[in-house]
Amino acid sequence: MKALNEQEVVVTGGAGFIGSNLCRTLLEHGAKVTAFDNLYSGKIDFIKDLMDKGLNFVQEDIRDPTALEKATKNCEVIFHLAAQTSVPFSMENPKEDCEINVVGTLNVLEAARKAGARMVFASSCAVYGNPEKRPTPETYPTHPIAFYGLTKLLGENYCRFYQETYGLEVVMLRIFNVYGPNCHGAIYDFLNKLRKTPDKLEVLGTGKQSRDFVYVSDMVDALIKAATSPAAAGQAFNVGTGTTTSVAELAKMIVEILGLENVEIYFKGGQAWAGDMDITLADNSKAVNKLQWRPQVSLKEGLKKLISTRRY
């Protein structure tokens, strides 16, 4: 594999949370970068400053194969991050979820095949559902419990078929819970609630649900290693820290870092939403051994970094 500073790359979902952070790092490496995003959930503000640093932005949809083929014509790597990522939305709108996450992924694979590019596919730990084995290795049987997880698993299978049928180099990353500047999810929710009402915090669910939180710089490092490692093609890798933190513990940690006192933390109870997973905990030994990737940022350190940026 050539070094990234010699490559032309496309990031689908490049204006999203992870995508914008990836584009920033790729540009710092000297790569020629195109961000492909329909701004469905991505935001132009995330990448506006990067356009002055050489970022090419294409506002199109992965459901448009012609636009994809045009944008990826000369590229050597495609990072496919564009997706519908809301589990509740997927449960209420399975058809649209499928059109974006399955048909959209098929379109990106076809564009990669025509360009002869390696594709790094952003899959999810949601493919496991609620596994009994934790930490969960990549060899554990997949059994999604939400349409979102199902679409990611179908995307992985399309990736495998394209590799086996056409020899396309594809790497699949089963991403756990990523956070950092411009993030979404529980951390984003807690910080914004506490900004509005610093004396109380409502937590969805029982608070016992537990997550393997990965800081975005570690996530970006995994993406880049997946794109450049010769041994990665055709493989699926967990991207998680190998530690898990309950939502209740997370809430207390955020309150402590913010220096707030006498905060009433209360739990709504029941399941946070349909399709929500109980516990996520990655066995990341495969990524450590084969990609030479290891998470560098602890949850407490990452939360302090995020809070200091005030980009939430």
Tell me: the pLDDT tens digits for 209-227? 999 999 999 999 999 999 9
Q: What are the backbone angles phi and psi of residue 109, rounded to the nearest 5°?
A: -60, -40
- Selection from 57, 59, 2 nearest residue 30 by Cα: 2
CA gap 32, 10 in Å, rounded: 8
Note the pLDDT of residue 271.
63
**Token reading at 265:** 């933390």
Q: Given a cut of 70, is residue 273 above it in pLDDT?
A: no
Note the pLDDT of residue 311.
75
Confidence of residue 274 (pLDDT cuts 50, 70, 90): low
168-177 mean pLDDT = 98
Q: Given a cut of 60, is residue 281 above it in pLDDT?
A: yes
Identify whether 201 is part of a domain.
no
- Selection from 101, 106, 92 nearest residue 127 by Cα: 101
Asked if residue 189 lies in contact with residue 268, where contact means CB atoms within 8 angstroms, the answer is no
Identify whether 84 is part of a domain.
yes
Identify whether 254 is part of a domain.
no
One-letter amino acid of 100: I
Q: Provide the CATH number for the domain around residue 70.
A: 3.40.50.720
What's the angle, vertex CA 284, arms to CA 289 and CA 186, rounded to 5? 150
Given CA atoms 145, 148, 150, 152 in this order, what sign does their dihedral have? negative
The string of DSSP letters for 155-198 reads HHHHHHHHHHHH---EEEEEE-EEESTT--SHHHHHHHHHHH-T
- Selection from 67, 76, 59 nearest residue 9 by Cα: 76
- For helices 247-258 and 186-196, the axis angle rounded to 10 degrees is 40
CA gap 291, 277 in Å, rounded: 27
Number of domains in the chain: 1
Tell me: the pLDDT tens digits for 185-203? 889 999 999 999 999 999 9
Is-catalytic flag, 148? yes
Identify whether 190 is part of a domain.
no
Options 128, 148, 179, 312, the catalytic residue: 148
Q: Which residue has the tokens 């349409």?
A: 147
Confidence of residue 6 (pLDDT cuts 50, 70, 90): confident
**Token reading at 180:** 């950092």
Cβ-based neighbour number of residue 80 at 10 Å: 28
Identify whether 308 is part of a domain.
no
Q: Given a cut of 80, is residue 275 above it in pLDDT?
A: no
Identify whether 126 is part of a domain.
yes
Q: Which residues are paired to 122 by β-bridges?
A: 173
CA dihedral 91, 92, 93, 98 (to 10 degrees): 0
Give me the domain span that covers residue 161: 4-177+214-242+281-295
Task: Kindly report whether the peptide bond that precedes residue 144 is cis, defined as omega within 30 degrees of 0.
Answer: no
The string of DSSP letters for 237-269 reads EEES-S--EEHHHHHHHHHHHHT--S-EEEE-B
Cβ-based neighbour number of residue 233 at 10 Å: 16
Confidence of residue 86 (pLDDT cuts 50, 70, 90): very high
The pTM assigned to this predicted structure is: 0.95
Q: Which residue has the tokens 């399975």?
A: 94
Using alpha carbons only, how large is the chain's radius of gyration in Å? 19
Tell me: the pLDDT tens digits for 26-69? 999 999 999 999 999 999 999 999 999 999 999 999 999 999 99
Identify whether 63 is part of a domain.
yes
Identify whether 9 is part of a domain.
yes
